[in-house]
Structure 1
Amino acid sequence: MSKLLEIAKRLNALAQAGLTYSPNAYDLERFSEIREISVELLHELTDEPIEKIAPLFASGIGEYPTPKVDVRAVVFRGEDELLMVQEKIDHLRWTLPGGWADVGYTPSEIAVKETEEETGLIVKPVRLLAVLDKRQHPHPPQPWYVYKFFIRCEVVSGEIRSDGHDIGQVRWVRRTELPELSLSEDRVTASQLEMLFTFVTNPDAPALCD
């Protein structure tokens, strides 16, 4: 299935590039049909409704296809606690504060904004820890090609606020709790969390990049 999903995403990228750059009307028709086929294939592979896939995955005309960007704030307390939130949309599974990057915001601004909205805490960005290609890690398959930014942040002020519109519980999670935690693996994996904790004992380590 994962191989077919990658083929569908690649077909869409080629179709969108063709729709952007081809001067030939007949080729434009063919590229448009290829894009429709890629959406139908994604629908069959992921069970996502076509009306959701089409506008998010295959609506770009006149633009070269590029990856989506997911930004996550990494907020430690001491050496063994990490700020985590429950995603209501994913059955209250746990992840790091964050979400899709918004146009008009820098990656650091997204980390600050999402953390405040989801947890009530005001943070300041300290450094970039990692830029990961989601395909290279054990996330569930999804239609979009995604880069993940992990930005270390420090608490400046505020108090933890739980049970927001999209978020259930918010709390500090001990490193020893991670193996038993039900993670929102579409957003973060256990191996990524362990990787992030290495920066606690080695804060000057170079940022990781796939």
Structure 2
Amino acid sequence: MGKWLEWAIELQSLAQAGLTYGKDIYDKERYERIRDISAEIVSNYTDIEIEKVKDLFCNEVGYQTPKLDTRAAIFEEGKILLVRENNGKWSLPGGWVDVNVSVKENTIKEVKEESGLDVSADKIIAVQDRAKHNLPVYAYGVCKVFVLCSVLGGQFVENIETTEFQYFGEFEIPELAEEKNNLEQIKMCFRAYRSENWETEFD
């Protein structure tokens, strides 16, 4: 992670805390400006439009915390299920945890939306700090939860996010959407599937 991004993240976090807990109207104006500067830094170094940066990076209130993402690991005859995204790359079914559902509920919901399958969410494989595992680095924190699941029924349904799903062996993994899951993480899921006494990994 470049120093510029570390500085931008720290400025954003300090500004958000100030906006949450500060009382003085003039101090709040200063915190708003600091927050704007943090977004300008990210926009300048990434060529992402400033409004998009603000939407992703400066859209929360309260104390700064990571976003939560779930990824489902589903196996059949020793192969793992991956969904094909609109850009042609593959990923474990998953996505941001909605505010009104639990990690377990979100895992089940995302699998249904992206693959059409009904599953049970059985075991937490890992809880990872995205910044330690995936590229590109994001300007906001993400906590990734990998969940071992079992298929109960269902079939693929057309949707706006994915075009198909397939099962792949450990040594035939296709091109991955690495910002969401990489080969290291897929192999971790295989180890968890094969283990009789898997202990949750966490950063």
Normalising by structure 1, we get a TM-score of: 0.91
Q: 1:115 to 1:13 in 2, by over 3 A?
A: same
Q: CA deviation at 1:67?
A: 0.6
* Alpha carbons 2:90, 2:177 under 8 Å: kept: yes
User: Contact 2:118 / 2:152 at 8 angstroms: preserved in 1?
Assistant: yes
Q: 2:54: which partner in 1?
A: 54
Q: Does the 8 Å contact 1:46/1:143 carry over to 2? A: no
Distance 1:203 1:48 in 2: 45
Give 1:73's aligned amino acid.
A
Q: 2:170 corresponds to which residue?
A: 175
Q: Distance in 1 between matches of 2:132 and 2:107?
A: 22
1:84 alignment partner, SS class: strand
Distance in 2 (CA, whole Å) between partners of 1:105 and 1:128 is 17
| Paired position in structure 2 for 1:28 | 28
Q: Aligned letter for 1:183?
A: L
Q: Describe the shift of the 1:3–1:137 C-alpha distance in structure 2 as closer, same or farther (beyond 3 A).
A: farther
The one-letter amino acid paired with 2:83 is: V
Gapped runs of 5+ residues in structure 1? none
Counterpart of 2:52 in 1: which secondary structure? helix
SS in structure 1 of the partner of residue 160 of structure 2: coil
Structure 1, residues 118-173: CA drift from partner, whole Å, max 9, x if none? 11110011011110001111421222210001111100011234x52111221111
C-alpha contact 1:73 1:97 (8 A) present in aligned 2 = yes
State the shift of 1:30 in Å. Answer: 1.6
Amino acid at match of 2:97: A
Identity of aligned residues (%): 37
| 1:106 and 2:105 are equivalent in the alignment | no
For 2:60 and 2:116, the matched residues in 1 are separated by 35
Helix, strand or coil for the counterpart of 1:150? strand
- The answer to whether the 8 A contact 1:5-1:141 is kept is no
Q: Is the 8 A contact 2:97 2:106 kept in 1?
A: yes
Please tell me whether the aligned partners of residues 156 and 164 of structure 2 are also in contact (alpha carbons under 8 angstroms).
no
The 10-residue stretch of structure 1 (104-113 or 49-58) with the greater mean CA deviation from structure 2:
49-58
Aligned pair count? Answer: 203
Q: Does the CA-based 8 Å contact 2:12-2:34 persist in structure 1?
A: yes
Is 1:86 aligned to residue 84 of structure 2?
A: yes
Under a length normalisation based on structure 2, what TM-score does the superposition of the two structures give? 0.93
Q: Distance in 2 between matches of 1:153 and 1:46?
A: 37
Equivalent residue for 1:127? 123
Partner amino acid, structure 1, of 2:69: D
TM superposition shift of 1:102: 0.4
| Counterpart residue identity of residue 73, structure 2 | V
Looking at structure 2, the residues matched to 47 and 110 of structure 1 have their Cα atoms a distance apart, in angstroms, of 32
